[in-house]
Amino acid sequence: MASIKLSEYFSEIYERGKFPRFKVLINGEWTETSNKFDLVSPTDGKKTAEISSVSEKDMRKTIDSAYASKIKIRSMAAIDRIELMHVVMRGLEEHREEIARALMAESGKPYKSASGEINAAIERIRLSMADSRKIMGEYLPGDWSSDTSKKIALVIREPVGVVLGISPFNYSVYTSIAKILPAILSGNSMILKPPSSNPIAFLMCAEIFRKSGLPDGVLQVITGPGEKTGDYLSSDDKINMISFTGSTEVGKHIMTISGLKKTHMELGGKGTAVILEDADIDLAAKECVKGSLELAGQRCDAISRILVVDSVAERFLDAVKKHLSDYKFGNPLEDDGVTIGPVISKKAAERINKMVEDAVGRGAKLVSGGGHKDAYHEPTILMDVPLTAEIANEETFGPVITIIRVKDKEDAIRTANDSKYGLDSAVFTENFYSAWETMKALQVGNVTLNSAPSHGTSYFPFGGVKDSGSGKEGIGYSIEEMTNLKTIVLDLAPGHLGKEYTGKFKD
């Protein structure tokens, strides 16, 4: 049975009992709510804990506290904010193993994936000094234009106010911290809603933030059903910005109810790998298997379909089958060597399997896998998938390697771009000119050459186009999303300063 056992350091975030009952963080205090819901581990389908479900009264208190606390973080010196985050980083380093084990128990992640996520969060904070470069603004001398010749301007960045962050289940710790970090560094207060399916590891991180000295009310963390909680928070006028990572459907809904708030949407994707005839086939296969199966395919930047030029398709398939043996499927709580565990729920596994069955029913070849039980779906290879199949067009979010034949490079580009999504892609070729032409032609926010997409600490900016969202995440770029530009114009003429425009050289 998956169990959550925490050290004394985290004793305030839950109440002991047959199952630990986790609280919410409102105005600096861990608070019990009147309603709870059960957390079920995908590793064994059994209840692991009870999670607080906030009421409207709880949410009203949360919003009001965050709104009132804006001044606390905005008035803190920026260097203090950065040094505070480094205290948080040391706390994460001290408790990384415990957090990783909790993440494994609640979400079914293999050990390597869970520990890697915590390490990425730590590294993201370590690089936080680079974020500050994006807050410094600029000086504009006015004498480059005739109508402003005796004026100057300062263009500065100011915090938006209260940021609402909504995080997904696949990277519940890293994505949450990647939202909190730029929000607080730029002087905003924040309300963070972690995923209902696996919030515990992040609640532990929130306690590290609290104990590190973050002023009460600057970070609020609440849990509850996504639709009810998300709708209430997103539509409230005291929320100034929403940073959402999740499905396209939910992202579109949030935008319809949020009014004129700033929004950053990191939504669904149909990551496409293009394998051209002059690719290093073994490298391409190895990277495509990794990109398709890592975290059981539950990544928005996963390789969700592979377009391979017909002349090398059989060689590519043979190499894929070889590299599939590099992965071990099973229960990660029973064997730390497991690299592919369950998906997030039995319902998710059933959805994935319906997509596989639909593809086979339309003529795709089931090369390997295809079975499922409870929350476990076997790593699966589908060959010659027709473009009419659902799995050829919709986000899979499961451990399926979907291979589609194309005639040539031009056919690959047309097929890749005939998608409502535009998040991530990869191109495999040894020819620089083919690489450049293809990468420029793909209608996506991110494209990688000769490697599976991987964003790590978000050092490079990351974000999609079309139905994959708007805005960019990444060191420095997230800061820009969470600040407003303000132009301060100073007229120097009353002080007999500034440069006189003569107009004598005008045509």
For residues 148-158, give the mean pLDDT: 95
192 with 217: CB under 8 angstroms?
no
Which region among 21-35, 77-91, 119-133, 490-504 has the lowest average model confidence (pLDDT)?
Answer: 119-133
What are the counts of helices (DSSP H) followed by strands (DSSP E) for the chain?
A: 14, 26
Instruction: Please state which CATH class domain 8-267+471-485 belongs to.
Output: alpha beta
Binned at pLDDT 50, 70 and 90, residue 343 comes out as very high
Answer whether residue 252 shows pLDDT above 90. Answer: yes
Answer whether residue 465 shows pLDDT above 50. Answer: yes
Nearest to 328 by CA among 320, 317, 336: 336
What strands, in cross-sheet order, belong to the sheet with 483-491?
138-141, 151-159, 483-491
For residues 189-206, give the mean pLDDT: 98
**What is the C-alpha radius of gyration for the chain, rounded to an integer number of angstroms?**
25
Binned at pLDDT 50, 70 and 90, residue 486 comes out as very high
What kind and span of H or E run contains 489? strand 483-491
CA distances from 12 to 28, 112, 148, 345, 423 (A): 12, 28, 58, 28, 40
What pLDDT shows up at residue 133?
72
Question: 369-395 pLDDT, tens per residue?
Answer: 999 999 999 999 999 999 999 999 999
Active site residues: 266, 300
Token output for 425? 């892609």
Total residues found in the chain within this entry: 507
Cβ burial 468-502 (10 Å sphere, 16+ → b, else e): bbbbbbbbbbbbbbbbeeeeeeeeeeeeeebeeee
Nearest to 47 by CA among 124, 104, 106: 106
Share of the chain above pLDDT 90, in %: 92
What pLDDT shows up at residue 126?
92
For residues 172-190, give the mean pLDDT: 97
Planar angle of CA 137, 485, 241, nearest 5 degrees: 125
272-449, what's its fold? Aldehyde Dehydrogenase; Chain A, domain 2 (3.40.309)
Mean pLDDT, all residues of the chain: 95
Nearest to 225 by CA among 305, 295, 151, 166: 166
Task: Give the strand pairing for 138-141 and 47-53.
Answer: unpaired
Nearest to 276 by CA among 254, 320, 306, 243: 306
Q: Where are the beta strands (DSSP E) in 122-193?
A: 138-141, 151-159, 162-166, 189-193
What kind and span of H or E run contains 231? helix 226-234
Question: 39-51 pLDDT, tens per residue?
Answer: 999 999 999 999 9
Answer whether residue 433 shows pLDDT above 50. Answer: yes
What pLDDT shows up at residue 1?
46
Question: 71-99 pLDDT, tens per residue?
Answer: 999 999 999 999 999 999 999 999 999 99
Binned at pLDDT 50, 70 and 90, residue 2 comes out as low
Domain residue extents for the chain = 8-267+471-485, 272-449
For residues 227-251, give the mean pLDDT: 96
Question: 437-446 pLDDT, tens per residue?
Answer: 999 999 999 9
The end-to-end CA distance of the chain, in Å, is: 83
Answer whether residue 356 shows pLDDT above 50. Answer: yes
Nearest to 296 by CA among 333, 341, 337: 341
Binned at pLDDT 50, 70 and 90, residue 3 comes out as confident
